[in-house]
A and B are shown apart, each in its own frame.
Chain A
Amino acid sequence: MEFKDYYEIMGVKRDATQDEIKRAYRKLARKYHPDVSKEKDAEARFKEVGEAYEVLKEPDKRAAYDQLGANWKGGQDFRPPPDWDEGFEFRGRGDAGKDDGIHSDFFDSLFGRGRGGPGAAHQRSFNMQGEDHHARIAIDIGDSYAGATRTITLKMAEVDEQGRVVTREHVLNVAIPKGVRSGQQIRLAGKGGPGIGAGKSGDLYLQVEFHRHPIFRADGRDVYLDVPVAPWEAALGAGIKVPTPEGSVEMKVPPKSRAGSKLRLKGRGLPGNPAGDLYVVLQIALPPADNETAIAAYRKMAADLPFNPRAEMGV
């Protein structure tokens, strides 16, 4: 198993005071808290930092950890020496776990298996509802339009027959409800952690995010797309075909449209009650001046049209 350098994880020196450790923890926890952070791997980092703090904040555990020596480097292969924790207060207590965390093997080998969920450390004849689990799921915008089934794999801590905490992979088929929006949570009743005794299973909460789509962008229940039009289509008006997540539709570009004009297709956003709208944002595409005809046409426009595109800038 890998050695974890808790000091390195916390970014503090080995002789840091308890106050410095607390400050470092608070700072990192704010940075990586899964509810706050947009950092990549925020959740994994938050757990790692939490584990490091759990050891370093308690003088007993810190002292025990320190006596492993300062020569270990994070990531090195590690086996705890026998009786390494002799004489320390926490020895054999085995209740080191926080309710919601899964510790690294390194931590477990030193401080004992954590509790897998509320009450897991208790004996049988004890009934308690299983833990709720929270996870994220990324879907395509089209999945929200049509509804879809997605297979997701979750790692969950479970308590086995011997009362030990083991990590199992759960494969779940999730029916994505139609109209779900980015940022919303889907709750799957009974798909969380198993209950204890006669307790019911917990629930699974999935926070939904959309994959980036090459054409469509969602803002709440509204969906946006950029649609290029030729200068004459924008100037004179035109009937054009635009793609939507449900197939293409015909729409009218009104005369005198400008770049950036938004045209609304009511009710063509994400489905729901009410459904969102689809906004077509016009982009004006210029025909390339790469042949005689095109060059001649541009020359004619330049000669015939008294047009200063920078008039509003006063130059």
Chain B
Amino acid sequence: MTINDSPLRHAICIIEEQSGFTLEDLCRACAANMESGSEIIIELVEEGVLEPTGTSPAEWRFDGLSVRRARVALTLWRDLGVNTAGAALALQLMEELEVLRSRMTALGGG
């Protein structure tokens, strides 16, 4: 995949609406180096947090939500010493919380 095909080629884009991110794109968007970044991203795929299409890491393509999840998981790992299973749990709870907060605002309670 050349850089021109990458979803990161646009000058301005909404990350969550892009797809087709490669493992390398993901590491780049998470400001992680390829080595430690991809190791954790592979663990996150095994954990079921990230669900790329494609069968092998080289063929994996991620959606925009994965970019955010990977970034949060990587910062939690780096800043709080959370392992991938812990980060998976934290992400799940954070996303639930986000839905609840958004719903609460929509209902006029927040």
Contact = CB atoms under 8 A, between A and B. Distances in A.
Interface of A: 26, 29-30, 33, 35-36, 46, 50, 100, 129, 131-132, 174-175, 177, 179-190, 202-203, 205, 217-220, 222, 224, 226, 272
Given A33-B80, A132-B31, A177 B14 contact: yes
Contact of B94 (A29, A36, A132, A188): A36
Interface string B9-37: 11111111100000000001101000000
B76 A33 contact: yes
A186 B12 CA distance: 7
B5 to A, nearest CB: 15
B8 A189 contact: yes
Interface of B: 8-17, 28-29, 31, 67-68, 72, 75-76, 79-81, 90, 94, 98, 102-103, 105-108
Contacts of A226: 108
B12 A175 contact: yes
Nearest to A192: B31
Contacts of B13: 177, 186-187
Contacts of A183: 98, 102
A185 B14 CA distance: 6
A185 B79 contact: no
Contacts of A26: 80-81
B16 A185 contact: yes
A226 B105 CA distance: 12
A185 B106 contact: no
A100 B72 CA distance: 14
Contact of A188 (B9, B11, B29, B67): B11
A33 B79 contact: yes
Contacts of B67: 185
Interface centre among A30, A132, A187 (most CB of B within 10 A): A187
Contacts of B105: 217-219
A189 B12 contact: yes
15 contacts: A26-B80, A29-B79, A29-B80, A33-B79, A33-B80, A35-B94, A46-B79, A185-B15, A185-B67, A186-B15, A187-B10, A187-B15, A205-B29, A218-B105, A272-B17
Given A26-B81, A29-B79, A35 B8 contact: no
A217 B15 contact: no
Residue of A46, A185, A220 most packed against chain B (CB within 10 A): A185
A182 B104 CA distance: 14
In the A-B complex, the 3 residue pairs with the smallest Cβ-Cβ separation, listed nearest first, are: A219-B106, A185-B15, A224-B106
A187 B12 contact: yes
Contacts of B94: 35-36
B10 A217 contact: no
B93 to A, nearest CB: 10
A175 B67 CA distance: 21
B27 to A, nearest CB: 11
Contacts of B15: 184-187, 205
Given A35-B75, A185-B68, A217-B108, A180 B10 contact: no
Contacts of A180: 14
B83 to A, nearest CB: 14
A304 B49 CA distance: 61
Contacts of A188: 11-12
Contacts of B75: 33, 35
B106 A218 contact: yes
Contacts of A182: 102
B104 to A, nearest CB: 9
A30 to B, nearest CB: 6
Nearest to B98: A183
